Amino acid sequence: MTDAMVEIRQLKKIYHQGDVEVQALRGVDLTVAKGEFVAIAGHSGSGKSTLFNILGGLTPPTAGTVHLNGQDLLALTEGERTELRKRTVGFIFQKYNLLPTLSAQENIDIAKYIAGNKSAPDANFQEVLQLLGLSDRLNHKPRAMSGGEQQRVAIARALVNHPALLLADEPTGNLDTENSNLVLDLLRDLNHRLHQTIIMITHNPEAAAFADRIVHMRDGRIVS
């Protein structure tokens, strides 16, 4: 194996909407090295989220090859994709997507619980919490937190099981400039200090600039 975290060759994804076929991905080639922070930019409808969903094991690819951390995603069953979501990938969404009935700490804990991760909070994760600056807000429920705080909790949740790959879909789409910069700084810190591999989707060039490398998508293909 190389030290590629992600290896994508001629990836295709076709959605069937009734009788209509929607070609969301038309042959994507992409390699992301371990420890790399890559931004995927492109207009709305260019297929970014579809790529995100495939890499996260939320939907199966139609054709091509996708290797994630050495695993062939095309061959996975539904159950294996569930397993992939437990430990191999961590998600950050535009809309935070915290469970509203649980506190920040519990939102992080339930991700651990679902993954069957019984280890005590480790030094590595303590460092994450430090970086996130959340220590005094952990007992609050999401609705008592600002968008920036919620997104930082979501990052902590995404990282608690030490995923090989952190996937972020428009993580700053709902945040003001100050909070956006805070979150983006955090992602860069995580990448630099902990060598966390990150793929971030964004249509905002300023956000993309935080990454090591920017990949552009158009009409289901990588254009540069």
Partner 1 sequence: MVNHLVIENLKHRPVRTGLSILAIAFSVTLVLTIVGLSDGMLEDNRERARGAGADVIFRSPTASFGTGGGAAPLNEKLIPYLETQPHVTIAAGVLMHSLQFPNSLHGIDLDRSSRMAGGIRFLSGGPFRQETDIIVDEFYAREKKLRVGSKIPLLNKEWIVCGIVESGKLGRMFVQLPVLQDLTSNPGRITQIYLKVDRPENIPAVVAGLKKNQPDYGVNTMEEVLSAFSADKVPALTIFLKVIVGISVAIGFIFVFLSMYTAVLERTREIGILKALGASPAFIVNILLRESLLLAVLGAITGILFSFGTRYLFLVTIPASMQQKITPLWWPKALLIALLGALLGTLYPGLKAAKQDAIEALSYD
Least CB distance to Mg ion at residue 123 (A): 35
Residue 138's alpha-carbon distances to 4, 57, 133, 144, in angstroms, are 35, 29, 10, 11
Please give the size of the binding site for Mg ion, defined by CB under 5 A. Answer: 1
Could you tell me whether strands 165-169 and 197-201 are parallel, antiparallel, or unpaired per DSSP bridges?
Answer: parallel
Q: Site map for Mg ion, 47-86, x if CB under 5 A?
A: --x-------------------------------------
Beta strands (DSSP E) in the chain are 4-17, 20-33, 37-42, 63-68, 71-72, 89-92, 165-169, 197-201, 213-218, 221-222
How far is residue 196 from each of residues 39, 96, 187, measured CA to CA in Å? 14, 20, 9
Q: Any contact of residue 27 with ligand ADP (CB under 6 A)?
A: no
Q: Which does 45 bind (CB under 5 to 8 A by kind): ligand ADP, partner 1, Mg ion, none?
A: ligand ADP
Residues that bind partner 1 (CB under 8 A): 49, 53, 56, 58-59, 79, 82-87, 91, 93, 95, 97-102, 106, 109-111, 113-115, 157, 169
Stretch that binds ligand ADP, among 42-50, 91-99, 138-146, 207-215 (CB under 6 A): 42-50
